[in-house]
Structure 1
């Protein structure tokens, strides 16, 4: 066993330049913990939120929420994993940008042999996010229509395929015609280029003026008001991210004026806090991938040493699909 693991750490909040490398001691897992050696790590917008301080961490702190690798050791009480087993996770606390780590075992999931480490690292956080959006947030059934912003991103491309597999019509938005074509290829019924079209007007046209049953919005400030205007009466607004900045305070009375709308601000980590629920969500995701209903697109690869460049590309919206960090 190596005594230390190269780890990405921040000592202050800021831009990609605050990311630095440290060799951190590993040690043995305690009760309810595992030690996992990573083969690949995932990149997500929540990592940017942690780096900038939008989601504050107690500093210094390691970053990264998602990875896949091999279990090296298990602590007392861990029964669902064993040394030598392939595994993957999306989990608190941050610290996945590293060669290896000791961490709580409850959200680490056994990885089927048919799914590669790279695919798993690209899909755990994004795929389980889609799982809770479609199955644990508001009732959705075959024939319903949802609006999904950033449909060509890592979460978006999984959502397009997931919706198609369950007979749900997904109207996507994206920032270029190329990204719109990518979303459509992956199962979006329609995709709107928000730079050249008014997405609210276009959604109304596509739904014969009725609006959609639910909006799934990870953009935040820039799209929030328009998203509300896309909903049918009693529709559900699911605000699950802040890529353009947090949604400012608003008058709840607007929800009544626009048709008794509902709104929620969920997080993946609330859903996976329960071990049994987390493992069930992962199994459903693995089933979608192994069954061919969902293909994970890894469109960018960076070595862990170049993590700052990966953050810059993500923030500049220069990425499509998923991005992984290779070790």
Structure 2
């Protein structure tokens, strides 16, 4: 499928295909449909996902399930303090018989990069991902090597263990389109997990619901979804509000505005719609913006987290009228 438009047939196809991908992932990650849909939204928006939560709630399993459900290549990188940048991006090795250097690709040369416990690597190693995530390429010894699309980094980190960790710098966090917390499953979902997963590996039973070429075509369709000027202005006003509130000392970047619009387009495509609604922007604002924001002293005193501030700003920024977006 190579369509570049967002016509009714194409959008119906995207809705059905993404629904099948989510259903496939849900056979492994039970009771977390909203988290799964956000991961697929980030995939179609050509973004990267940061999964942050306590151990044992399925962060790495979500990344593995996404890779297998879309039938694409994946590589897992276990981030540790002794991991080198060349382990991530690759290294040039001298071949005496040829009298020249040969580039050996690193773990990022795949479709889905699973970065496990990313904050356990040194800042130098973390920074090796910056070019990959933003420009989808690796530069080594003056030579640029493009990464094969689709390409997504799904990184996990544990927010409560501080010993032996290196917090992600602002530049790194800004390159993640969205952050999501898995949360504990509901009692019914946890019972189903014990019933169906205790004696077997659920990932081994997961059947691919798509392939890399189809995902890339769906990405192009999502990019063609229409966003009215009123919607774009709404995104800009939300982002600007994060920079002006005294509760934050670091607001959202222009990249954040771009990520929010792209994610909203992908959410509309998954819903089978050819245009973005304010609801798409509102439903994604917290996941896309909160991890980029830093509370100010006033915000800390008022006990307002970044998520709280985003929620407050969504209540304050005027919503576009329906006639302006249809």
**TM-score over 0.5 for the pair:** no
Give the TM-score taking structure 1 as reference length.
Answer: 0.22
Greater per-residue helix proportion: 2
Higher strand proportion (structure 1 or 2): 1
More contact order relative to length (CA 8 Å, sep ≥ 6) = 2
